Amino acid sequence: MDQWSLSGLGMGTVFIALIGLALVVSLFPVFFRKPEKKRADPAPLPELNSRSAPASVAGPELVAVIAAAVAASSGMAPGSFRIASVAPAQSGGGFNTPVWGHVDRLCRPANHR
């Protein structure tokens, strides 16, 4: 057998094995399909409260959560700082990067990259 026929035989064997493997994988749903359960009608959704606060107003619960998060991440006591205002972050540059990602890029030294 010369080298070209041996290479062709090897590639043909691999190709046939791949076709067989694809057929076996395509038959998996036939043998391993779960029986479908009959579902009852879903429960009705609850009515939404139309008297909720607008999204731009930060309630005392939100301010308390932000204060607790700042205190936990900085190690300071919750009474040692004051949250002056709560406003949504402006996205910069059209990317979906959070504010802390932008701060990290601005504070990182140039030779650290």
Each residue's pLDDT tens digit, 88-111: 666 555 566 777 776 766 666 655
Asked if residue 82 belongs to a domain, the reply is yes
Determine contact, residues 82/66, Cβ cutoff 8 Å. Answer: no
Please provide the size of the chain in residues.
113
Q: Residues 91, 94, 98, 100: is their CA dihedral positive or negative?
A: negative
Asked if residue 78 belongs to a domain, the reply is yes
* Residue 32's pLDDT band (cuts 50, 70, 90): confident
User: Per residue in 34-76, pLDDT tens?
Assistant: 777 777 777 787 776 655 555 556 678 888 888 898 899 888 8
Q: What is the pLDDT of residue 43?
A: 77
* Residue 12's pLDDT band (cuts 50, 70, 90): very high
Dihedrals phi, psi of 84, to nearest 5 degrees: -80, -40
Asked if residue 62 belongs to a domain, the reply is yes
pTM to 2 decimals?
0.32
Q: What is the pLDDT of residue 13?
A: 97
DSSP single-letter state for residue 60: H
Asked if residue 69 belongs to a domain, the reply is yes
Number of domains in the chain: 1
Q: What is the pLDDT of residue 81?
A: 85
Q: What is the pLDDT of residue 14?
A: 97
Which residue segment(s) compose the domain that 74 sits in?
Answer: 58-86
Cα separation, 62 vs 64, in Å, equals 5
Asked if residue 74 belongs to a domain, the reply is yes
What end-to-end distance do the CA atoms of the chain give, in Å? Answer: 57
